[in-house]
Amino acid sequence: MAEPLKNMYNKAFVENLAKALNASDKKFNQPQFIKAVLNSNWDGLELKARTIHISEQMHASLPYGYKAQIEILMPVAPNFNGFTATIFPTFVELFGLDEVEISLTALQEFTQYSTSEFAIRPFLAANPELIKVMYEWSKSDNHHVRRLASEGCRPLLPWAMKLHNYVADPSPIIPILDTLKNDQEDYVYRSVANNLNDISKHHPELVLELCGKWMNESKTTHWVAKHALRTLLKKGNQTAMQLFGFGSIASIKTNQFSLLNPKIAIGNSSTLEIGITNKGKTAKFRLEYAVGYLKKNGSHNEKVFQLRESEVKKGESLSFSKKVDFKDLSTRKHYVGAHYIALKINGIPVERVAFELT
């Protein structure tokens, strides 16, 4: 069994943190801090709760004003990295909302060792004008800060508070994304694509227009545009399809689309057989399959999976197989009953087979 993520925060981590805090503040009481963190509730705390708990104990153990606390934490943060170092941005999020200037400076520093993408969001929600600071960060020499400029203002960042202002009106975000769309670091331009994908869920026409303008500027912006439109492509949006050369499917003939087993036990898999022929001129085609998963309430939830993108010549045929699993996942529970799989070509359903999970 995999080690629980919460165990990234363990006794050794807490002791190392106490030592680093003492090096920055000689009055810092290491034993008292360690005891306060590893209290009787510690074992029951999950990952996020441990992050908050440690941040709260740092605050309690540094009996100074917020500015002085941040001055102590600044030389401590570089000793830590990865997710565990989010205790520092979390500290700012918990205790610095009323000290915006100090907090922004701290978040800009702390993001270089972990990420401040979650901690910046309450500041943006309380004061939308701070998007101007994010724009300045988008021009930083440090790629971690540039990524924060994009990732921090994503309207629908997973596991984070929704930024309702930018869900309703994403226009203040666009200058940041325009600045970063051709960034030399994939860590940064991937964030741009993810931000645009968020926006596309409420403002598809805006994202389609932007991607249409950007996609041929460079190899990077082409990748950004396609990744940004991934949700619209999976939904079969024909404007998005046409941007990437996926046009009419009138010339495509389906030779085969079948599932090996009409009845499949939950936890098992089956094989999907696909065969197509292009009767017309050479063209690009995007092949996907959509599984209609039966839900507990009796309705179906359709999830689309990509098979391949291919240029198919006139008279050419494609035949291939795809294994389809029906194991329960943390994100999906299967239910006994009628399901279906549909073949989609360029976003358009063309064939469908039914099967039963047992």
CA 60, distance to chain mean position in Å, is: 33
* CA-based nearest residue to 181, from 158, 147, 130, 136: 147
pLDDT of res. 3: 79
Fold of 252-357: Immunoglobulin-like (2.60.40)
Residue type, 15: E
Rounded CA separation 118/23 (Å): 28
CATH of span 5-243: 1.25.40.290
pLDDT of res. 1: 58
pLDDT tens across 291-315, in order? Answer: 999 999 999 999 999 999 999 999 9
Instruction: Assign 2 a pLDDT band (cuts: 50, 70, 90).
Output: low
* CA-based nearest residue to 292, from 283, 284, 301: 301
Whether the per-residue pLDDT at 330 is higher than 90: the answer is no
Q: List the domain boundaries for the chain.
A: 5-243, 252-357
> 3-class secondary structure for 203-230?
CHHHHHHHHHHHCCCCHHHHHHHHHHCH
Rounded CA separation 343/255 (Å): 12
Q: What is the Cα gyration radius of the chain?
A: 25
Helix (H) or strand (E) holding 254: strand 252-259
Classify each residue of 324-358 as buried b or exposed e, where b means 16 or more C-beta atoms within 10 Å of its C-beta. bebeeeeeeebeeeebbbbbbbbbeebbebebebe
pLDDT of res. 182: 97
Reported pTM: 0.91
Instruction: Assign 156 a pLDDT band (cuts: 50, 70, 90).
Output: very high
SS3 284: strand
CB atoms within 10 A of CB 62: 21
Whether the per-residue pLDDT at 5 is higher than 90: the answer is no
pLDDT tens across 133-151, in order? Answer: 999 999 999 999 999 999 9
Instruction: Assign 29 a pLDDT band (cuts: 50, 70, 90).
Output: very high
